[in-house]
A and B are shown apart, each in its own frame.
Chain A
């Protein structure tokens, strides 16, 4: 057990991991406690207070710390509620894509033969589609909404997990411990599930973190083109789309949600990268 604690300590002392974990924590807090944190109702309009700048600029109203949009809605509150959508999509879509991709990758890598050939060709064909266009088409077909966005991301991004997991299973399968497990008389599913899968967990953790960043971007893109959740719900992509119209009068409406997306994705990528570096040498000795 001492080594696991050691791994966590060394992970926590990595600057990227610390930064990424802080960003993730901030996202989780914002999403979970949105009604408590937001100073206003994100939908509450005040047409007399439209286009107010953030507090550090001249002409600002301290009631609206980050300013207001074209309908006088509080931007800070909208950003906080937007984190809810972003985090929900990131967590659910990344987990489901991991589940689907890992299951197929495990089967392809371990059983090989025609099963592997079918799954691998499927992945090849899948990855030939441009992902953003494919997601837009998919959501257009199954209809807008949070569920559709999640389904679209899962359908597109399971291939990332499938490819990496398959390659890693090919490596693990040749390790002596698998031969030992076979000579002990364990069955194939049991070896795959109880012997090989635990060796993939650090890798999966890293992949899921990176996928969360990707999911946030895809959700923003779909919101931007108006295919995500309904327009009465605040999303970062929706804010960008709205802010684009007033970029010359009120830059903050577009720039602030962009900053949220950039910081979130940067944080998740840093977390994934840092975890990969700190977990690998410990788990793969």
Chain B
């Protein structure tokens, strides 16, 4: 393999205040690949996404490691260059469709802003493009939706709008931070299918952050399992489900309902395993 990864995160260590959050994270997202990042809450998965996008909260400090986007250093990148990349080459699908859109601005304004900024479209061209994008994410009555405010739309519709926005400038990389977690299960499946379809058409690489192995099995090509700020295991999706290497991965699977084996009882991740993982992780801080 000589293809360069779209996103390469290597030995990334990040502290929030004096608390270590990431303890040497390695992830390679290859072009056109959906790379799942799975972990329970507090594992640091969202922080990886925020670090990549440069929106880590105040007090976060990168101690060591590297992040490169198409061989370009994301950490040392000047602010102007980052702003130019964001939205155009790298985009975000946020977790919560309720707050991901500005509550007091109409949809058309929020969709056309990045189009005008990055693609240099004039107002009518951007509006036409926005309409076209809403068609692509299969929103009914897109002309009306464009004139509406976010709270007039359902959660599923808002998430479609956010997906349309993320794909609007044909980015190379999308960070999807639990994009279906806030939606109910039927809408979740439609949204996953939509993301997969757009991703395949555009050949976009996606870093797909989730806590749900069920979602991973539907959409991801590769998976990294994260716990206490460490990547425990990284594998192709079929290998991971058939031959999980790490104890934690196996425990996580026993804790996830599987529709192909409905009789199995779910088991929580054993406390002693969690304790062992935390102890191992903290040993790295010294």
Binding site for B on A (CB under 8 A): 1, 3, 112, 175-177, 179-187, 194-195, 198-199, 201, 283-285
Give CA–CA (A219, B90) in the complex, Å: 56
Residues of chain A contacted by B189 (CB below 8 angstroms): none
B114 interface residue, CB < 8 Å from A?
A: yes
A179 touches B84 (CB 8 A): no
Among B55, B85, B149, contact of A179 (Cβ-Cβ < 8 Å): B55
Interface string of B137-178 (1 = CB under 8 A from A): 000000000010101100000000010010000000000000
Report if B104 contacts A (CB, 8 A).
yes
Nearest first, the 4 A-B pairs at minimum CB distance are A185-B87, A183-B92, A184-B87, A176-B99
Report Cα–Cα, A284/B151, bound state, in Å: 10
Give B32 Cβ to nearest chain A Cβ, in Å. 21
Q: Does chain A have a CB within 8 A of B274?
A: no
Ordered by A's residue number, 24 sampled pairs between the chains whose C-beta atoms are within 8 Å are: A3-B149, A175-B99, A176-B99, A176-B100, A177-B100, A177-B101, A180-B100, A180-B102, A180-B165, A182-B55, A183-B53, A183-B90, A183-B92, A184-B91, A185-B83, A185-B84, A185-B85, A185-B88, A185-B114, A195-B102, A195-B105, A199-B102, A199-B104, A283-B103
Greatest chain A CB density within 10 A among B55, B85, B95, B147 is at B55
Task: Provide the bound-state CA to CA distance between A179 and B92, in Å.
Answer: 9
How far does the Cβ of B145 sit from chain A's closest Cβ, in whole Å? 14
Which residues in A have their C-beta under 8 angstroms from that of B53? 179, 182-183
B86 at the interface (CB under 8 A from A): yes
16 A-B pairs besides A176-B94, A176-B99, A180-B162 with CB distance below 8 A are A3-B151, A177-B101, A177-B102, A179-B55, A180-B94, A180-B101, A182-B53, A182-B86, A183-B55, A184-B86, A186-B117, A199-B103, A283-B103, A283-B104, A285-B103, A285-B151
Count of chain B residues with Cβ under 8 Å from any Cβ of A?
A: 33
The reply to whether A180 and B105 form a contact with Cβ atoms under 8 Å apart is no
Q: Is B254 an interface residue (CB 8 A)?
A: no
- Tell me the smallest distance from the CB of B66 to a CB of chain A, in Å: 21
Judged by a CB distance under 8 angstroms, whether B275 is at the interface is no
User: Are B83 and A180 in contact (CB-based, < 8 A)?
Assistant: no
Q: Does residue B118 face the partner (Cβ distance < 8 Å to A)?
A: yes
- Which chain B positions have C-beta within 8 A of A201? 104
**Does B26 belong to the interface (CB within 8 Å)?**
no
